[in-house]
């Protein structure tokens, strides 16, 4: 589909927690008729299927860093996107852009799945071009992609001293800007690249005060941004809309995690502007203003009916 719209859809707003409500980190960006994925966490293919976006239709896979919750969906996207069915059908190489280490990840996946690829080529006669990969690595801030009026700029963020490399992304299209923090602590580079964005999508992590003395909680919070800190980022960048994704609500068996209301209230200590807490399949349309749309389960029913119809037609 072509078109001049600029749309962001949160496919997975979760963390390593295997939650059925919040899938692994993954965001779909559509601009200038092109489709980009930022990361590919658990369940990314399922969310694309819900949106009726063929997996093979993704033009560029961007990676932010190598934590497995951000990459465990990569082999699924790459391999399932190659299948002949309407949900796959990639005929051109799987294009991946990411920081140094991307090549190692993808080439090792090629080794890991060599037998599947060999079998499907022999059995299903799938085109070799659709399972080929096209990898671009970068090691500094700058433009990593530019085509059809869409410019993607990578910028380094701070996810902790040993979790390197880790990058956020800034998308520019027709004078509009969407910025994605990736996983990071409170970070000035996010502010530098996020100033004046139409949409700023930021991570957030929070734990109840009673748990803050636990070393493992301190370690996790130390790698992320608290709601109060995220509010400071929003206050300094003043986006038309700020949105949370990668929502880490930490608790223990005895102490429940903070609620969504808790993180909003904490954010409000430092920021009073427009704010949305992301949900899986929530979409943002970036135009004169930024509009928010929640996924309608009724479209899921329509999708099921269509698939049923399709199967009957095939029979
Ligand atoms: Zn991470
Ligand atoms: Zn993460």
Cα 116 to averaged position of ligand 2 atoms, centre (Å) = 29
The pLDDT assigned to 312 comes to 43
Which of 238, 77, 245, 83 has its CA nearest to residue 168? 245
Question: What contacts 75, CB < 8 A, 6 or more positions away?
Answer: 109, 112, 113
Ramachandran area for residue 148 (φ above 0: left; ψ -120 to 50: alpha; else beta): left
How far is the centre of ligand 1, averaged over its atoms, from the C-alpha of 25 (Å)?
10
* Centre of ligand 1 from the C-alpha of residue 65, in Å: 7
The per-residue pLDDT for 310 is 45
Separation of CA 67 and ligand 2 centre (Å): 6
Rounded to whole angstroms, the Cα distance separating 94 from 85 reads: 17
- Local structure of residue 86 (DSSP, 8 states): T
- Token pair listed for 67: 């934590």
How many angstroms is it from 15 CA to the middle of ligand 2? 6
| Beta-bridge partners for 154 | 142, 169
- Other beta carbons within 10 angstroms of residue 115's beta carbon come to 8
Distance 280 CA to ligand 1 centre (A): 18
pLDDT of residue 222: 97
Alpha carbon of 60 to ligand 2 centroid (Å): 20
141-176 pLDDT, tens per residue?
999 999 999 999 999 999 999 999 999 999 999 999
Ligand number, closest to the Cα atom of 67:
1
Q: What's the CA-to-centroid distance between 296 and ligand 2, angstroms? A: 27
CA 115 to ligand 1 center in whole angstroms? 30
**How far, in Å, from the CA of 96 to the mean position of ligand 1?**
18
- Helix, strand and coil percent figures for the chain, each rounded to 5: 30, 25, 40
For 122, the 3-state DSSP assignment is helix
Q: Residue holding tokens 């109840």?
A: 208
Q: Which of the residues in the chain have pLDDT under 50?
A: 1, 309-315
Rounded to the nearest 10°, the torsion over CA 231, 145, 64, 74 is: 130
């Amino acid at each position: 589909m072509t078109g001049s719209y600029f749309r962001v859809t949160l496919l997975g707003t979760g963390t390593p927690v295997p939650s059925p409500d919040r899938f692994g980190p993954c965001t779909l960006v559509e601009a200038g008729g092109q489709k980009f994925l930022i990361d590919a966490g658990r369940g990314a293919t399922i969310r694309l299927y819900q949106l009726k976006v063929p997996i093979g239709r993704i033009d560029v896979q961007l990676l932010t860093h190598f934590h497995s919750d951000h990459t465990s969906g990569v082999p699924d996207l790459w391999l399932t996107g190659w299948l002949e069915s309407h949900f796959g059908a990639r005929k051109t190489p799987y294009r991946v852009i990411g920081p140094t280490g991307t090549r190692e990840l993808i080439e090792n996946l090629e080794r890991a799945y060599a037998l599947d690829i060999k079998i499907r080529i022999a059995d299903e006669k799938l085109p070799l071009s659709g399972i080929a990969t096209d990898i671009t690595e970068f090691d500094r801030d700058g433009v990593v992609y530019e085509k059809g009026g869409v410019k993607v700029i990578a910028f380094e963020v701070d996810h902790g001293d040993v979790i390197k490399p880790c990058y956020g992304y800034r998308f520019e299209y027709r004078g509009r800007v969407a910025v994605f923090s990736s996983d990071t602590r409170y970070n000035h580079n996010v502010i530098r690249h996020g100033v004046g964005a139409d949409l700023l999508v930021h991570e957030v992590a929070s734990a109840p005060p009673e748990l803050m003395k636990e070393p493992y909680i301190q370690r996790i919070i130390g790698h992320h941004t608290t709601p109060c800190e995220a509010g400071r980022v929003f206050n300094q960048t003043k986006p038309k809309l700020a949105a949370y994704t990668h929502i880490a609500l930490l608790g223990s068996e005895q102490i429940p995690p903070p609620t969504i209301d808790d993180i909003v209230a904490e954010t409000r200590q430092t920021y009073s502007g427009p704010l949305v807490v992301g949900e899986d399949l929530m979409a943002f349309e970036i135009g004169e203003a930024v509009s928010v749309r929640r996924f309608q389960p009724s479209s899921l029913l329509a999708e099921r009916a269509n698939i049923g119809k399709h199967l009957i037609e095939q029979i």
